[in-house]
Structure 1
Amino acid sequence: MSYNASFLDGQVFYEDVYFELFESVRSHLTLPLSWTVTEGAMALLYLLVYCYELGIKYVTAYAFSIHNFKRSPEEVKKIMDLMMESVTLLTRLSKFCSLRVHFAGNLQLLSTELRNAANKLMENTASNSNLVLTICVSYTCSDEILHAVEESCRERTDGAVVKLADIEKHMYMAVAPDPDIIIRTGGECRLSNFLLWQSCCCHLSSVYTVWPEFGVLHLVWEVLDFQHKYTYFARKKMQL
């Protein structure tokens, strides 16, 4: 299998999901935001090691939507600070498993410090090839499509017709193949503006397990489930 795309947008709301069945004791079981996001980041690092061992080459993580900038400034700052820490951890992990890292999205919306750190990590891991991680940050697929169309039109100064290949070339996710699986954690069944363009022929899976608790057994189950349906999806892709 070549690809595994996982939703991470539930990580900040880990507390809300985890304790939803225990309303009577909610006020006594409060997890700080920094802890829940840190747990989400560590879960990603463990997942990358599992994927490496299972031979899954491409992993995409939805880390931060453009819409998330509408949250409180304090919340956004905490997440951005933890993302900076994650860049440091990914730098170390890249040396262990020859990890290549891409950041996909409107990076101009990020702080200069985080954008520079992301660009440096992409540059330093560009020659790695065993495992490819794409982190969708400051991303929505609608913004991705708009960006691709604008860039395609900008190239066509001669008035030539814009073709499908032109648009796909300028998509943020042009750095990776289309997904085989999209896994949505937390029991949600919506795509939340994630890989809408790329997901026409992939297996969509919604698991009730919240993101920080998504471990190797969940991943193996998803791989086996996909392999059972692989022939159908392979045939669909050949028809495109």
Structure 2
Amino acid sequence: MIPRKQVEDERSNGMIGKILGGLNSTLRKLLFHVISSRPIPEHIAFILDGNRRFAKKWKLTEGAGHKAGFFALMSVLKYCYEIGVKYVTIYAFSLDNFNRRPDEVQYVMDLMQEKIEGFMNELSLINKYGIRVLFIGDLDRLYEPVRIAAEKAMEATAKNSTTYLLVCVAYTSSHEIPRSIHESCQEKSGATAIRVINGNGHTNENHGGHAMIKVVDLEKHMYMGVAPDPDILVRSSGETRLSNFLLWQTTNCLLYAPKALWPEMGFWQVVWGILEFQNNYKYLEKKKKQA
């Protein structure tokens, strides 16, 4: 039989936890209300860097670092959607990572399948924020169980349109851009020659053909053509490399590199990133208009 005092202590601790949780939620909403009086980014992209270093730092298994990173992702998504961000993009797996040892690739594929299925079990989060999940990249390169899990996630959330989670897998910009050029050329292949028009409207090459490929044509065929360009690109762990991620789309966005490893990312990192965006908003908008 459980002692009465132990039961009372557990009830008391539970009540305190609920009160503190409710207080945190109220303060968070109040702060978000104040922040939202200024421009809120429509799209934030994240490079999830530091899961392995987090595990090493705390002497955990590598899998424990990725598990902690998954919980961090759930929190970051919640904060982004609560404050009004509509699109969140994460860099989950680079196309270049397929060059790793087969056992490493298999480990990551297994982990990815587990995390996709784990995310789809977070129905309260998905339904509350109306999240539509889109997987971006050369999905044919994914191992079959991962591809099937990704397809199921996209199908299950296809009717949602309040917010979006874009997961870049088997993706690099150096693959996305040439692919877009190739598909644009195929689309215009009925003409005798092709002229490529840059963003300023200048012709890079002209052999007298009738077909013109413009920036808008290229962007239509980009994997990331389903979303507006990011307003903020965040790379955790203090690293400032883009690692072949969204090179085309981040020309005029804010780059933000908090020192926190990805599993350490949370409320304050999201808040400071948005405040930095707001402080630079006029400059960023000016650069976009000049592009």
Aligned length: 229
1:149 equivalent in structure 2 = 181
- Report if aligned partners of 2:45, 2:90 keep a CA contact under 8 Å in 1: yes
Picking from 72, 77, 86, the partner of 1:57 is 86
- Report if aligned partners of 1:37, 1:79 keep a CA contact under 8 Å in 2: no
Verify: 1:101 aligned to 2:133, yes or no: yes
- RMSD across aligned positions (CA): 1.6
2:68 equivalent in structure 1 = 39
What is the SS of the residue equivalent to 2:88?
Answer: strand
Verify: 1:8 aligned to 2:8, yes or no: no
TM-score (norm 1): 0.89
Partner AA of 2:250 in structure 1: S
> CA separation in 1, counterparts of 2:86 and 2:232?
13
Verify: 1:233 aligned to 2:284, yes or no: yes
2:169 equivalent in structure 1 = 137
- Higher relative contact order at CA 8 Å, sep ≥6: structure 1 or structure 2? 1
- Report if aligned partners of 1:34, 1:79 keep a CA contact under 8 Å in 2: no
Verify: 1:192 aligned to 2:243, yes or no: yes
Structure 2, unpaired ranges of 5+: 1-39, 192-210
> CA separation in 2, counterparts of 1:49 and 1:73?
34
2:119 equivalent in structure 1 = 90
Q: CA deviation at 1:98?
A: 0.8
Q: CA deviation at 1:123?
A: 2.1
The higher radius of gyration belongs to 2
What is the SS of the residue equivalent to 2:73?
Answer: helix
Q: CA deviation at 1:75?
A: 2.4
Moved more, 211-220 or 124-133: 124-133
> CA separation in 2, counterparts of 1:66 and 1:10?
19
> CA separation in 2, counterparts of 1:67 and 1:107?
14
- Report if aligned partners of 2:49, 2:237 keep a CA contact under 8 Å in 1: no
Q: CA deviation at 1:46?
A: 1.4
Q: Runs of 4 or more off by more than 4 Å in structure 1? A: none
Q: CA deviation at 1:48?
A: 0.8
> CA separation in 2, counterparts of 1:111 and 1:79?
10
> CA separation in 1, counterparts of 2:274 and 2:69?
21
Picking from 143, 161, 165, the partner of 2:212 is 161
Q: CA deviation at 1:13?
A: 4.1
1:119 equivalent in structure 2 = 151
Q: CA deviation at 1:238?
A: 2.1
Picking from 69, 72, 80, the partner of 2:98 is 69
What is the SS of the residue equivalent to 1:100?
Answer: strand
